[in-house]
């Protein structure tokens, strides 16, 4: 028996797809010898599963002959502990670690977890197959020198790293976990078991950003899967009614064939009704292909959140991370074009890059927010095999390893103090929750346009109010924020507290009255009050299975169940005002009694931790739906 183990980072009701494990199993089973002799099983754990839970699940029965683990920063220590337990119950078994977090890190891995026998340093599909064949041939873990791309120990105190094989040129030679049935796709109810479908259309990235080690293929030629194979995989997802495909490619829209892929998704969607959206990491340099893809998706009604992975707008930081050669600084024209096309866009920033200061970060954040309010901010982590990690002294990094994971967290560097970093982590948590994850989404631009309040100013006012308010609900929210703000992986815990807070509407209303309204020009208060009310009313419906069912009727929209809030009356035509502000028109709005019905996709409780999916659960008015 061989077990392949993977663990997602998020603690959510839906599983994260174990794509790496699926590739390993599918390709191993292409070998007749392995297929005839070895039973391969995938264990896929969630971010909330403890080491004890994982060990009890795996070792309640007979242990496997070989235990392979796909290791990320959050699973490094748990899987090291699992390896120790495994060797207690199966001393002669093999333990194999793979993944970008342990690639080229064998000395450290073997020192910390001597129970690990093999570390895989690159693409794992063919290497894993060769390891299983060596196991079947009776080799020991000290006799693996003929297998390329691994590290092992022929003696206890000596590490051998074999030469890396060439990267796989013909990606179609890699068996598909979806087409072979190697990966389970449905749960006990027969429903698709993952939050989204992950897939690759290519591998490789031509850039060498100082913070990134994308699949171990940075600075390399991009290799692609064939359209025939991708078409077949898309049809599998359509059969299982997958709403969203998330591509694991580094630069969607870089290659001409990316447009061909989008055409295939649209063709399958038109035939079967699914998939309905494509998400992923869009090309840093937006070529003609990207614009062609956007136009085609709009024409076909295929949805996506187009990502601007800017990381920073500060020129010193851009220089140090080697991104000045990218045309990402032309983003303002791109955002304007996307808005004209009526398409959603969000940006990604990194806090803590060398060369960045608190002031330059907020300057860049608020500059971005003038064009898009949905901004994802991630604190910088030093990942293995990156320039930041391998040359820390040059950048002046002071770091510490996480106590619950193996990420190297940045404490300070030459342009950032520890105190500044702590204050910014507090801000990032709230900014991600209320802006990136759309607790609010409509108020930001009108507040800036009518009152001169920037997005970061409003978010900081919210933080101050919740931390000072005597209300029990506010204290509950603030306590959770204080507990999780230093660990990005615990963001869903904070989101769950926010969305699940019974008094959330009352708390937001009090914050608005006590903290924001006093800063507004009196003549604009009635309008901004209605904008804020509309914002709260279009928040996703957090319909937890164990909670009280929303007192709203359910109707079908595009074949999917939606809650409907009928005939809500506003004293202003808020959607029209929002459109005017988006177009740059700021004029005194006259009261205009308006009646709207609002629609919310059912099932938000399964996806609240995934901002790329959560955007599909926000409330839409009947005008929006008629325009889709």
Residue 476 is assigned to a structural domain of this protein: no
Q: Give the domain CATH number at 11.
A: 3.40.50.2300
Query: Does 64 have pLDDT greater than 60?
Result: yes
Distance separating alpha carbons of residues 444 and 628, to the nearest angstrom: 24
Q: Is there a single domain that holds both residue 12 and residue 133?
A: yes
pLDDT for the residue numbered 492:
86
Q: Is there a single domain that holds both residue 276 and residue 201?
A: yes
Supply the mean pLDDT for the chain.
92
Give the tens place of pLDDT for each residue, 278-300.
988 888 777 889 889 988 998 89
Q: Is the peptide bond before 456 cis (omega within 30 degrees of 0)?
A: no
Query: How many other CB atoms sit within 10 Å of the CB of residue 57?
Result: 12
* Among 416, 450, 484, residue at a domain's last position: 416
Q: Write out the two tokens for 325.
A: 């050669």
Instruction: State what percent of residues in the chain have pLDDT above 90.
Output: 74
pLDDT for the residue numbered 491:
86
Give the DSSP per-residue string, 78-127.
HHHHHHHHHHHH-TT-EEEEESTTTTT-HHHHHHH-TT--EEE-S--HHH
pLDDT for the residue numbered 219:
77
Q: What angle do CA 423, 429, 435 make, to 5 degrees?
A: 120
- Dihedral of the CA atoms 442, 604, 238, 196 (nearest 10)? 90
Q: Give the domain CATH number at 247.
A: 3.30.750.210
Q: Is there a single domain that holds both residue 88 and residue 234?
A: no
Task: Give the closest residue to 613 by CA, choosing from 211, 192, 271, 292.
Answer: 192
Comparing 491 with 227, the larger pLDDT belongs to 227
Kindly state the average pLDDT of the residues 64-93: 96
The pLDDT-based confidence of 238 (bands split at 50, 70, 90) is: very high
Kindly state the average pLDDT of the residues 52-69: 95
SS3 content of the chain, % helix, strand, coil (to 5): 45, 20, 40
Instruction: State what percent of residues in the chain have pLDDT above 70.
Output: 99
pLDDT for the residue numbered 325:
53
Helix (H) or strand (E) holding 161: strand 158-161
The pLDDT-based confidence of 268 (bands split at 50, 70, 90) is: very high
* Among 285, 304, 323, residue at a domain's last position: 304
What length is written for the chain? 628
Q: Is there a single domain that holds both residue 289 and residue 318?
A: no
Query: Does 178 have pLDDT greater than 70?
Result: yes
Q: Helix (H, G, I), strand (E, B), or coil: what is residue 21?
A: helix
Residue 153 is assigned to a structural domain of this protein: yes
Give the tens place of pLDDT for each residue, 203-212.
998 888 999 9
Q: Is there a single domain that holds both residue 373 and residue 384?
A: yes
Distances (CA, A) of 422 to 348, 426, 427, 608: 20, 7, 9, 26
Query: Does 588 have pLDDT greater than 80?
Result: no
Give the tens place of pLDDT for each residue, 307-340.
888 899 998 999 999 886 555 557 788 888 887 7
pLDDT for the residue numbered 618:
94
| 440-454 residues labelled b (16+ CB within 10 A) or e (exposed) | bbbbbbbbbbbbebb
* Among 374, 399, 416, residue at a domain's last position: 416
pLDDT for the residue numbered 301:
86
Structural domain count of the chain: 4
Q: Is there a single domain that holds both residue 357 and residue 393?
A: yes
Distances (CA, A) of 462 to 252, 445, 562, 574: 36, 16, 30, 23
Q: At which residue do the structure tokens 């006799």 appear?
A: 143
Residue 432 is assigned to a structural domain of this protein: no
Give the tens place of pLDDT for each residue, 400-435.
998 889 999 999 999 999 999 999 999 999 999 999
Q: Is there a single domain that holds both residue 217 and residue 298?
A: yes
Kindly state the average pLDDT of the residues 221-245: 95
pLDDT for the residue numbered 606:
86
pLDDT for the residue numbered 303:
80
Q: Do the bridges between strand 94-98 and strand 118-120 make them parallel or antiparallel, or are there none, so unpaired? A: parallel
Q: Is there a single domain that holds both residue 121 and residue 77?
A: yes
Comparing 355 with 334, the larger pLDDT belongs to 355
The pLDDT-based confidence of 607 (bands split at 50, 70, 90) is: confident
Query: Does 237 have pLDDT greater than 90?
Result: yes
Task: Residue 6: give the domain boundaries.
Answer: 2-161
Q: Is there a single domain that holds both residue 32 and residue 148?
A: yes
pLDDT for the residue numbered 247:
93
| 378-416 residues labelled b (16+ CB within 10 A) or e (exposed) | ebbbbbbbbbbbeebeebebebeebeebbbbbbebbebb
Q: Is there a single domain that holds both residue 100 and residue 57?
A: yes
Residue 472 is assigned to a structural domain of this protein: no
Query: Does 474 have pLDDT greater than 90?
Result: yes
């Amino acid at each position: 028996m061989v077990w392949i183990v993977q663990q997602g980072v998020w603690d959510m009701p839906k599983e994260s797809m174990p794509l790496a494990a699926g590739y390993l199993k599918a390709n191993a089973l292409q070998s007749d010898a392995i297929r005839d002799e070895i039973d391969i099983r995938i264990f896929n754990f969630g971010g909330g599963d403890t080491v004890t839970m994982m060990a009890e699940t795996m070792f309640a029965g007979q242990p496997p002959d070989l235990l392979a683990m796909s290791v990320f920063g959050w699973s490094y220590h748990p899987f090291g502990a699992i390896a120790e337990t495994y060797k207690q119950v199966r001393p002669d078994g093999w333990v194999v670690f793979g993944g970008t977090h342990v690639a080229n890190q064998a000395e450290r891995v073997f020192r910390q977890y001597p129970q690990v026998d093999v570390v895989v340093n690159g693409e794992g599909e063919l290497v894993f197959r060769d390891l299983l064949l060596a196991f079947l041939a009776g080799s020991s873990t000290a006799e693996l020198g003929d297998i390329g791309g691994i590290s092992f120990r022929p003696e206890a105190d000596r590490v051998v790293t074999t030469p890396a094989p060439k990267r796989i040129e013909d990606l179609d030679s890699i068996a598909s976990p979806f087409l072979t049935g190697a990966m389970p796709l449905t749960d006990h109810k027969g429903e698709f078991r993952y939050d989204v479908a992950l897939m690759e259309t290519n591998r490789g990235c031509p850039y060498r950003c100082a913070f990134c080690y994308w699949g171990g293929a940075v600075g390399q030629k991009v290799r692609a899967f064939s359209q025939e194979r991708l078409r077949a995989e898309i049809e599998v997802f359509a059969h299982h009614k997958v709403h969203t495909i998330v591509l694991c490619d580094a630069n969607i829209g870089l290659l001409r064939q990316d447009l061909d892929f989008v055409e295939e998704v649209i063709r399958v969607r038109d035939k079967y009704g699914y998939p309905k959206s494509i998400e992923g990491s869009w090309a840093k340099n937006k070529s003609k292909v990207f614009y062609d893809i956007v136009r085609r998706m709009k024409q076909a009604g295929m949805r996506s959140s187009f990502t601007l992975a800017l990381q920073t707008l500060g020129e010193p930081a851009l220089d140090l991370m080697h991104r000045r050669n990218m045309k990402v600084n032309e983003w303002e024209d791109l955002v304007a074009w996307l808005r004209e096309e009526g398409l959603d866009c969000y940006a990604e920033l990194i806090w803590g890059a060398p060369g960045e200061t608190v002031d330059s970060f907020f300057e860049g954040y608020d500059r971005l927010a003038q064009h898009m309010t949905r901004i994802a901010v991630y604190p910088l982590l030093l990942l293995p095999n990156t320039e930041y990690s391998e040359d820390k002294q040059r950048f002046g990094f002071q770091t510490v390893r996480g106590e619950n994971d193996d990420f190297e967290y940045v404490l300070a560097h030459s342009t950032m103090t520890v105190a500044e970093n702590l204050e910014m982590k507090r801000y990032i948590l709230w900014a991600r929750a209320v802006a990136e994850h759309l607790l609010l989404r409509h108020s930001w631009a009108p507040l800036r346009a009518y009152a001169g309040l920037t997005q970061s100013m409003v978010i900081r006012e919210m933080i101050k109010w919740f931390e000072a308010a005597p209300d029990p609900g506010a204290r509950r929210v603030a306590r959770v924020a204080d507990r999780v703000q230093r660990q990005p992986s615990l963001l869903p815990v904070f989101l769950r507290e926010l969305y699940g807070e019974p008094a959330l509407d009352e708390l937001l209303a009090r914050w608005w009255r006590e903290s924001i309204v006093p800063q507004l020009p009196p003549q604009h208060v009635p309008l901004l009050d209605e904008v804020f009310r509309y914002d709260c009313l279009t928040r996703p419906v957090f319909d937890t299975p164990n909670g009280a069912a929303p007192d709203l009727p359910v109707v079908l929209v595009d074949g999917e169940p939606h809650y409907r809030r009928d005939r809500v009356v506003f004293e202003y035509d808020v959607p029209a005002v929002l459109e005017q502000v988006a177009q740059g028109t700021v004029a005194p709005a006259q009261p205009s009694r308006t009646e709207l019905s609002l629609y919310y996709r059912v099932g938000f409780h399964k996806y609240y931790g995934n901002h790329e999916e959560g955007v599909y659960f926000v409330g839409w008015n009947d005008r929006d739906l008629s325009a889709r």
